[in-house]
Amino acid sequence: MSLQRKAVEIGRFRDGRLIYRLDSDLPPMGYIAIGVIDRGTNVIQARPTTICPQNCIFCSVDAGLKSIHRWAEYVAEPGLITRGVESVLKIKGCSVEVLLDTIGDVLTYPWLVELIKELRNINGVKSIALETHGLFLSEKLVDKLHEAGLDRVNLSIETLNQDKARFLYGTPAYSVNRVLKVAEYLVKETSIDLHVTPLWLPGLNDEDLLRVIDWAIRVGAGKKWPPVTIQKFIKHKYGRGSWIREVSWSDFWSFIDELEKKTGVRLKWSMDEWGMHYARRIKPKYSRGDLVEVDVIARGWLRGEFLGVINGEYLIGVRGRRGLRVDIGRRHIARIVGDKDGLLLGLLEKTIS
**Interface residue with ligand SF4, options 27, 104, 222, 300 (CB under 6 A):** 104
State in angstroms the smallest separation of the CB of 54 from ligand SF4.
4
**Contact by Cβ (8 Å): 161, 171:** no
State in angstroms the smallest separation of the CB of 45 from ligand SF4.
14
Q: How many residues does the chain have?
A: 353
- Other CB atoms closer than 10 Å to residue 180's CB: what's the count? 17
**Contact by Cβ (8 Å): 336, 286:** yes
CA dist 284 and 30 (Å) reads: 8
Q: Which residues of 109-134 are buried (b: 16+ CB within 10 A; e: fewer)?
A: bebbbebbbbbeeeeebebbbbbbbb
State in angstroms the smallest separation of the CB of 156 from ligand SF4.
7
Q: What is the DSSP string of 40-62?
A: SBSEEEEE-B---S---TT-TT-
User: Is 42 or 54 the residue whose CB approaches ligand SF4 more closely?
Assistant: 54
**Interface residue with ligand SF4, options 36, 61, 165, 186 (CB under 6 A):** 61
Binding of residue 54 to ligand SF4 (CB under 6 A): yes
Closest CA to 61 of 228, 240, 189: 240
Binding of residue 64 to ligand SF4 (CB under 6 A): yes
Binding of residue 55 to ligand SF4 (CB under 6 A): yes
Binding of residue 315 to ligand SF4 (CB under 6 A): no
State in angstroms the smallest separation of the CB of 249 from ligand SF4.
21
Sign of CA dihedral 9, 38, 66, 139: positive
Phi, psi dihedrals of residue 167, rounded to the nearest 5°:
-70, -50
User: Is 303 or 331 the residue whose CB approaches ligand SF4 more closely?
Assistant: 303
Only segment of 15-23, 55-63, 84-92, 320-328 that touches ligand SF4 (CB under 6 A): 55-63
CA dist 119 and 88 (Å) reads: 13
Sign of CA dihedral 86, 88, 93, 95: negative
Binding of residue 201 to ligand SF4 (CB under 6 A): no
State in angstroms the smallest separation of the CB of 70 from ligand SF4.
11
**What is the amino acid identity at position 160?**
L
**Interface residue with ligand SF4, options 3, 43, 46, 63 (CB under 6 A):** 63
Would you call 348 helix, strand, or coil by DSSP?
A: strand
CA dist 327 and 296 (Å) reads: 7
> Between residue 169 and residue 198, which ones bind ligand SF4 under the rule CB under 6 A?
none
Closest CA to 104 of 81, 141, 75: 75
User: Is 107 or 216 the residue whose CB approaches ligand SF4 more closely?
Assistant: 107
Binding of residue 51 to ligand SF4 (CB under 6 A): no
Binding of residue 52 to ligand SF4 (CB under 6 A): yes
State in angstroms the smallest separation of the CB of 74 from ligand SF4.
14
Only segment of 6-14, 22-30, 50-58, 182-190 that touches ligand SF4 (CB under 6 A): 50-58
User: Taking the C-alpha atoms of 110, 190, 158 and 224 in order, what is their torsion angle to the nearest 10 degrees?
Assistant: -120
**Interface residue with ligand SF4, options 26, 29, 59, 310 (CB under 6 A):** 59
State in angstroms the smallest separation of the CB of 63 from ligand SF4.
4
User: Is 25 or 246 the residue whose CB approaches ligand SF4 more closely?
Assistant: 246
State in angstroms the smallest separation of the CB of 296 from ligand SF4.
26
> Between residue 12 and residue 41, which ones bind ligand SF4 under the rule CB under 6 A?
none
> Between residue 114 and residue 153, which ones bind ligand SF4 under the rule CB under 6 A?
133
The beta strands (E) that lie in 49-171 are given as 72-76, 96-100, 125-132, 152-155
Interface with ligand SF4 by CB under 6 A: which residues? Answer: 52, 54-56, 59, 61, 63-64, 104-105, 133
